[in-house]
Chain A
Amino acid sequence: MSDYALEARGLTKTFGGFHAVKDVNLKVRRGSIHALIGPNGAGKTTCFNLLTKTLTPTAGQVLLDGQDITKLRSAQVAKLGLVRSFQISATFPHLTCLENVRVALQSNNGTAFQFWRSLKAVEPLNQRARELLAQVGLAGREETPATELSYGKKRALEIATTLALDPKVMLLDEPTAGMGHEDVEPITDLIRKVSAGRTILIVEHNLSVVSSLCERITVLQHGEVLTEGTYAEVSTDPEVITAYMGGVDD
């Protein structure tokens, strides 16, 4: 088994001649929390979408546990244990919290196409769904429609839904984006808690979150890898400082 849970080789995406992502090589070590950072427009989200198969790369390869997943659809990738979250919180607003998580649990349950059975058929999943909700601090909110949750709680629900698939690799797209200060810390703690036994790649703007969570950091600029290292290394790199502070823009 490869040391790296997720690997990108020469990943490139062009939109009509514009290189959004260019020859990105990325290795995410198994069991680590790895961050992808960079100034606005650096191609973080495009890169992220390529890794999760939401976009198809123009060139290059994506490997999950050493297996080439470049040609697979995002649903197939999810079955292999690579699950993403979204920048805009992705819950099912008109479903209750319990239903939100239960839908994800149905993914591996073989009941999803049973239109002739009552919901009793999925009641055995409720126990696990309640555990997952409790894990993210949503105990007692099982019957609340997702739309009525606060922004921070929606993100927590989204993480519970993702955890329902018991993914080997979780990709989190700006988990604290748009969050008030009081919500950032609980979510950071939650990510640390659920990272046990998993590999996490996270795209994040908030550098204090990155510094407290991530062992390795890859910095993107203009769609290319600028540098990679620990937070201490990266944050003192003159090129990174220039990229963030503006400086002389090639």
Chain B
Amino acid sequence: MTRILLLAALAVVALAAPFFVYPILLMTILCFMVFASSFNLLLGYAGLLCFGHAMFFGTGAYIGGWLMKEGGFSIELAFAATTLAMAALGWVVGLISARRGGIQFAMITLAISQFVYFLLLRAPFTHGEDGLQRIPRSDLFGVIDVSSNLSLYYLILAISVAAIWFFYRIVHSPFGEVLRAIRDNEGRVESLGFVPERFKIVALTLSAGLAGLAGAMKASVYQIATLHDLSFHVSGTIIFMALLGGLGTMAGPMVGAALIVMLNDHLAQFGEWALIIQGTVFLVVILFFRRGLVGELQAFIRRRSAKA
């Protein structure tokens, strides 16, 4: 019951927000919420630390942007095609990396992401250092105009809600149950007759698809796709967001994403100091809130209800 009320309140806030807050900021938050959830699916629910997760996000931005600008795709088709393309990339990355665990997996994904970075730097369609500029916000279904910030916001909101619902569905599915078991004890899962690699490959495929969708959405919001979205810096930011909010909780990484995007927006006026403040926040979280903000909150509520 409280849950339904909470969701209803969230829905009201989300629908009313663009009248009070700059829609571009809100849409950035939504994109990073989807991106952070895709990362959470891997690290929080499969125990896979992907060090190059920005490759799916950044490449997704290029592909989505190119399809709208040069391919003449309507916006929803561009998003869908990008999601599928990035899922395919995730599948390939999975084939290469899923036999490894822990730090080896992290390093292999980092190496592949650097490879993709330089590939796209050289590829003619990305326009190198300039990036893909003036990406049009093409019409929804080819007829509905979503070029204004407000109308685009509602489209991005709807897609983000659907993506997050999909993430929820994966975690709370028969597959998600096996995935969590693999996170907890991979050897045991194998001894029960499963082949863990196959589950990791599927998880990586799904996660990469969601990350690609987030990237394509971001390209439509900013109307630009650059190499920055692919950089290690973004891969690091997403790890930070997930840890700040709390790994392995559904909401944690999304809360972390929203906080970091807002913090960056707010700190932009401080120039270089922004990074120092970010570093301090990170330290405080690591030292005092190991479970992340949402994780600590859940633990607090559990303790309270245990006492009562």
- Spell out A's residues near B (CB within 8 Å): 52, 54, 73-76, 78-79, 83-84, 86, 90-95, 99-100, 102-104, 106-109, 111-119, 121-122, 161, 164-165
Contact = CB atoms under 8 A, between A and B. Distances in A.
Interface in B198-247: 198-199, 202, 206
Interface in B163-222: 169-170, 172-178, 180-181, 183-185, 187-195, 198-199, 202, 206
B184 A165 contact: no
Nearest to B174: A111
Given A75-B190, A79-B193, A86-B187, A114 B173 contact: yes
Give chain B's interface secondary structure class: helix
Contacts of A106: 174, 177-178
Contacts of B181: 92, 95, 99-100, 103
Contact of B192 (A78, A93, A116): A78
Contacts of B178: 103, 106, 112
A109 B193 CA distance: 12
A117 B173 contact: yes
Nearest to B188: A90
A103 B176 CA distance: 10
A107 B177 contact: no
A38 to B, nearest CB: 23
Interface residues of B, number: 28
Given A75-B195, A92-B184, A165-B193, A117 B174 contact: yes
Contact of B184 (A73, A83, A93, A164): A93
A94 B184 contact: yes
Contact of A114 (B174, B180, B189, B192): B174
Contact of B189 (A76, A103, A165): A103
A103 B177 contact: yes
B301 to A, nearest CB: 16
Contacts of A99: 177, 180-181
B187 A90 contact: yes
Q: Which 6 A-B pairs have the closest CB atoms?
A: A78-B193, A115-B175, A92-B184, A111-B174, A90-B188, A107-B193
B180 to A, nearest CB: 6
A205 B17 CA distance: 66
Given A103-B189, A104-B192, A121 B173 contact: yes
A75 B194 contact: yes
B192 A161 contact: yes
B191 A83 contact: yes
Interface in B239-261: 248
